[in-house]
């Protein structure tokens, strides 16, 4: 996947410059590109053969063939520390012999351009991309993630792929084609290499390859075996000498990728959630367990396979080609002659349908002729093609508008090939034969050809063009298993949820404790209490005993629930899919009522303004707010949205890529904010209506400093004042944070708001002249402050 992104999305000039500037200068020579020129002006050619230097004239738009592109954008001091001595031998000493070379070195060492300015310089020299070549001595890493956004507007990244770039030099097989600038520099720095002390500049009198070749150097140090195996000899004869072979990564043409995506979209459209017949037919398409299809032009002669990779020696024992391709070119093929790897065309229902469309199959096609290329699965092949074409005919009418023929012709013209090492007969030497995957001579193989190419489009195979001094081969690689990784539990951010849940549980426990405490005082007072005050458990008891911050926390969890979409994974019996699942009405009502805690907090904050008016509208305001929230949520549930917008950047050129692929919004911050606006708006309107309705502000008879503000303005105070002293029943006192213990006529009061203890004595004269029931009088605390 890293190679797909690097060669497709991140080979632009700007992306390359930004990536080079964040890359480690010491790793720069391992960026895999056989250089053509030292400088953008092409003053100093550096290709390792005359014919390759001629080929370089067709690559001048690729910034990767200029060493100048790298040196201008890496840390020059770090580069000199790591490779300075070798660079001087290979290039620097030769450059110092001319004024132009000296100027170039000085300018390169002091580049301080911005990315845009640097890109402009590249463009002035006709450079429009920076595309490295294919290799297998290192793996390009990718860190790809998506984000989930909640109702608070906070996004949490989750990994789609986590693969660090890594070297695998001990298992590489591509050095024989070209082994990177790093090995060139090490070779000219060693006297035993055969080119020690020589220059890599072609115009130098000390040019390293004036009288030798890189292949000879590779044989001398063991990179190439001597004598060459038969297969490598054939490759050298057909493509050209080793050491100067370009391995061009061939990206999927945009037309082909677009057509494939269109076909897959039509498949999904045909499988609509309500189309059970289409789902049943789709699910009944059975794939072959092991598809080993081979072009019939190779099956009929009954060729024996000695392998299919230009990087490996021949197999010690040939395999019948009817059993499938053996040792196809692959990124991670180990090249063990005695242990061949059989290649298969990996099937899925989608791949069968896409391949059938691109191959031009329909219900009247000759399936027996098509399936003859996979003789081990002949009956199964006819069965799945019959059903696949029927599905296309019945449920994909839009496929007629897809430019499948144009995509087919485009890929056919690319001449993507299979390679085979074989002996035409036992008496003849080994031969190298190759054929177009979509060979017009073998049109019955088009379906299986596209089955192989489908994996290329999806990134599970690659196409590499081997271009040498003698010829070229465009080869399709073997299937690479997709990276499978377990979801990391540590990535799922649950800390906030745990804190919120703990806060909600704490509030619930505290309010239950307060309710039990009030009930205790009701029993202790033999039912002598002000019943109206008990309805202020939230506005008075909650504020005093729990506090505004925790009540706010509890209410925001309710707001979050009301502002979050419900998603369910459903299964129709044939296909799985996500569907919006609105919360049941009773959960909506419950969550909406939980907003009353925030209403109470807002009310308490604004009591300094609303004062006595608050008692007239508080309850109605709460009902209105909760009702509006419930109705809004029920009529217009929050939708879940997915924004697929992959953005990648290079953190180390030819080594590491960082991507973000999509954002899934399960929460809606606008709904969260809207509910907050509803609370504030309703509070303001309710206050002004109450003020208009009541008229002149009434004065609260309770002025004790021991009462909380909520108790002063929300409690019922009628008939509670005797001889100018306010008497508060013990249950209401508990709500407002006054815990009492009675001993005779004396009350010991603990005020939890102040953490102070007060002693209050009830006078006998007040009890005798109040006109109250002695029991009721005795159950009340005189607030004499």
Residues 442 and 520 placed together within one structural domain of the fold? no
Structure confidence at residue 289 (pLDDT): 79
486 lies in some domain: no
Read off the DSSP letter of residue 37. Answer: B
Nearest to 145 by CA among 634, 556, 488, 563: 488
Q: Mean of the pLDDT values across residues 615-624?
A: 91
Statement: residue 767 has pLDDT above 60: no
Q: Is 165:652 a contact under the CB 8 Å cutoff?
A: yes
In the structure encoding, which two tokens stand for residue 175, read together?
A: 């050095």
518 lies in some domain: yes
224 lies in some domain: yes
* Domain edge (last residue) among 247, 274, 295: 247
488 lies in some domain: no
* Domain edge (last residue) among 247, 270, 296: 247
707 lies in some domain: yes
d(C-alpha 153, C-alpha 162), whole Å: 25
Structure confidence at residue 773 (pLDDT): 53
Q: Is 20:649 a contact under the CB 8 Å cutoff?
A: no
Structure confidence at residue 762 (pLDDT): 74
Total domain count, the chain = 3
d(C-alpha 429, C-alpha 309), whole Å: 18
pLDDT in tens, 218-234: 999 999 999 999 999 99
Classified as helix, coil or strand, 117 is helix
Residues 195 and 315 placed together within one structural domain of the fold? no
Structure confidence at residue 776 (pLDDT): 59
Residues of the chain above pLDDT 70, percent: 98
d(C-alpha 556, C-alpha 371), whole Å: 63
Structure confidence at residue 539 (pLDDT): 87
Residues 258 and 367 placed together within one structural domain of the fold? yes
Statement: residue 479 has pLDDT above 80: yes
Residues 266 and 292 placed together within one structural domain of the fold? yes
Q: Which residues of 495-522 are buried (b: 16+ CB within 10 A; e: fewer)?
A: eeeeeeeebbeebeebbeebeebbeebb
Nearest to 140 by CA among 8, 243, 18: 8
Kindly list the distances between the CA atom of residue 286 and the CA atoms of 210, 271, 348, in Å, as whole numbers in the listed order.
61, 17, 9
Q: At what angle do helices 548-562 and 669-694 cross, to 10 degrees?
A: 120
Residues 549 and 401 placed together within one structural domain of the fold? no
In the structure encoding, which two tokens stand for residue 36, read together?
A: 């053509």
186 lies in some domain: yes
Least confident of 179-193, 308-322, 369-383, 580-594: 580-594
The pTM of the full predicted model, rounded to 2 decimals, is 0.83
pLDDT tier at 389 (50, 70, 90 boundaries)? very high
pLDDT in tens, 104-133: 999 999 999 999 999 999 999 999 999 999
Q: Mean of the pLDDT values across residues 257-269?
A: 95
Handedness of CA 224, 229, 232, 236 (dihedral sign): positive
Residues 447 and 523 placed together within one structural domain of the fold? no
Say whether the peptide bond before residue 227 is cis (omega within 30 degrees of 0): yes
703 lies in some domain: yes
Nearest to 276 by CA among 395, 356, 397: 395
- Residue 603 half-sphere exposure toward CB, CA atoms < 13 A: 33
pLDDT tier at 775 (50, 70, 90 boundaries)? very low
* Domain edge (last residue) among 247, 277, 301: 247
Residues 27 and 132 placed together within one structural domain of the fold? yes
Measure CA 230 to chain center.
Answer: 46
According to DSSP, the residues that pair with 570 across neighbouring strands are 577
pLDDT in tens, 724-736: 788 888 898 899 9
Nearest to 125 by CA among 42, 201, 249: 42
Residues 396 and 516 placed together within one structural domain of the fold? no
pLDDT tier at 716 (50, 70, 90 boundaries)? confident
d(C-alpha 627, C-alpha 174), whole Å: 70
- List, in order, residues 6 or more apart from 397 with CB less than 8 Å away: none
pLDDT in tens, 433-475: 999 999 999 999 999 999 999 999 999 999 999 999 999 999 9
Q: How many residues does the chain have?
A: 785
579 burial level (CB within 10 Å; 0-12, 13-18, 19+): exposed
Residues 436 and 526 placed together within one structural domain of the fold? no
Residues 566 and 668 placed together within one structural domain of the fold? yes
Structure confidence at residue 772 (pLDDT): 52
Structure confidence at residue 290 (pLDDT): 84
Average pLDDT, the chain: 91
- List, in order, residues 6 or more apart from 646 with CB less than 8 Å away: 9, 659, 660, 661, 662
d(C-alpha 394, C-alpha 392), whole Å: 6
Structure confidence at residue 601 (pLDDT): 92
Q: Is 761:745 a contact under the CB 8 Å cutoff?
A: yes
pLDDT tier at 708 (50, 70, 90 boundaries)? confident
Residues 371 and 454 placed together within one structural domain of the fold? yes
Q: Mean of the pLDDT values across residues 528-542?
A: 86
- In which domain, by residue range, is 412 found? 253-458
The helix (run of H) or strand (run of E) holding residue 33 is none
Least confident of 163-172, 305-314, 476-485: 476-485
Residues 447 and 535 placed together within one structural domain of the fold? no
149 lies in some domain: no
């Amino acid at each position: 996947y890293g190679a797909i992104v690097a060669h497709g999305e991140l080979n632009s000039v700007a992306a390359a410059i930004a990536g080079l500037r964040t890359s480690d200068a010491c790793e720069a020579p391992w960026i895999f590109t056989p250089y053509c020129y030292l400088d953008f002006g092409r003053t100093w050619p550096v290709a390792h053969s005359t014919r390759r230097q001629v080929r370089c004239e067709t690559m001048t738009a690729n910034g990767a063939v200029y060493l100048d592109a790298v040196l201008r954008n890496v840390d020059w001091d770090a580069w000199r520390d790591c490779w300075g001595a070798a660079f001087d031998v290979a290039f620097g000493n030769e450059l110092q012999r001319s004024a132009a070379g000296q100027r170039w070195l000085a300018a390169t060492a002091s580049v301080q351009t911005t990315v845009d300015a640097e890109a402009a310089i590249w463009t002035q020299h006709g450079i429009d991309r920076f595309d490295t070549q294919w290799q297998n001595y290192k793996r390009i890493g990718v860190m790809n993630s998506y984000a989930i956004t909640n109702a608070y507007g906070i996004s949490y990244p989750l990994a789609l792929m986590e693969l660090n770039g890594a070297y695998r030099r001990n298992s590489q097989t591509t050095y024989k084609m070209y082994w990177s600038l790093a090995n060139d520099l090490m070779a000219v720095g060693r006297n035993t290499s055969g080119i020690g002390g020589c220059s890599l500049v072609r115009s130098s009198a000390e040019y390293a390859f004036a009288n030798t070749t890189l292949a000879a150097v590779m044989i001398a140090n063991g990179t190439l075996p001597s004598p060459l195996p038969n297969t490598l000899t054939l490759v050298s004869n057909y493509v050209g000498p080793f050491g100067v072979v370009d391995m061009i990564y061939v990206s999927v043409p945009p037309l082909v990728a677009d057509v494939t995506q269109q076909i897959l979209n039509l498949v999904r459209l045909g499988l609509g959630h309500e189309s059970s017949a289409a789902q049943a037919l789709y699910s009944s398409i059975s794939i072959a367990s092991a598809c080993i299809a081979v072009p019939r032009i190779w099956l009929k002669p009954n060729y024996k396979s000695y392998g299919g990779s230009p990087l490996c020696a021949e197999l010690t024992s040939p395999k019948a080609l009817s059993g499938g391709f053996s040792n196809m070119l692959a990124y991670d093929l180990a090249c063990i002659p005695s242990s061949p790897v059989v290649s298969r065309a990996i099937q899925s229902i989608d791949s069968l349908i896409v391949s059938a469309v691109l191959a031009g199959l329909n219900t009247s096609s000759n399936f027996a002729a098509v399936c003859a290329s996979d003789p081990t699965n002949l009956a199964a092949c006819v069965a799945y093609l019959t059903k696949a074409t029927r599905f296309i005919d019945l449920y994909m009418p839009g496929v007629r508008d897809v430019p499948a023929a144009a995509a087919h012709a485009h890929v056919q013209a690319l001449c993507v090939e299979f390679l085979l090492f074989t002996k035409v007969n036992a008496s003849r030497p080994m031969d190298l034969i190759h054929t177009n995957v979509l060979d017009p001579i073998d049109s019955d193989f088009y379906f299986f050809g596209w089955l192989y190419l489908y994996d290329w489009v999806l990134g599970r195979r690659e196409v590499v063009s081997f271009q040498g001094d003698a010829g070229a081969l465009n080869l399709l690689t073997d299937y690479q298993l997709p990276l499978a990784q377990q979801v990391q539990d540590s990535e799922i951010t649950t800390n906030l949820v745990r804190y919120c849940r703990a806060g909600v549980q704490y509030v619930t426990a505290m309010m239950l404790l307060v309710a039990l405490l009030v009930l205790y005082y009701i029993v202790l007072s033999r039912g002598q209490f002000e019943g109206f005050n008990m309805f202020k458990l939230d506005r008075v008891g909650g504020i005093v005993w729990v506090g505004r911050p925790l009540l706010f926390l509890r209410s925001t969890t309710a707001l979050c629930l009301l502002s979050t979409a419900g998603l369910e994974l459903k299964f129709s019996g044939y296909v799985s899919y996500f569907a919006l699942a609105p919360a049941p009405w009773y959960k909506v009502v419950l969550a909406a009522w939980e907003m009353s805690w925030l209403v109470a907090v807002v009310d308490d904050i604004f009591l300094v303004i609303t004062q006595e008016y608050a008692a007239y509208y508080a309850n109605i305001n709460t009902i209105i707010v909760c009702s509006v929230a419930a109705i809004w949520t029920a009529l217009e549930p929050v939708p879940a949205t997915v924004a697929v917008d992959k953005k990648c950047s290079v953190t180390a050129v030819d080594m590491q890529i960082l991507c973000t692929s999509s954002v899934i919004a399960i929460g809606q911050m606008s709904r969260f904010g809207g509910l907050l606006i509803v609370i504030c708006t309703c509070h303001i309107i309710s206050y002004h209506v109450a003020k208009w309705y009541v008229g002149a502000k009434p004065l609260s008879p309770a002025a004790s400093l021991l009462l909380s503000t909520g108790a002063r303005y929300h409690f019922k105070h009628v008939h509670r004042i005797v001889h100018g002293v306010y008497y508060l029943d013990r249950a209401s006192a508990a709500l407002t944070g006054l815990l009492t213990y009675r001993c005779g006529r004396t009350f010991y009061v603990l005020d939890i708001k102040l953490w102070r203890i007060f002693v209050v004595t009830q006078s006998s004269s007040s009890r005798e002249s109040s006109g109250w029931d002695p029991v009721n009088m005795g159950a009340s605390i005189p607030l004499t402050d």
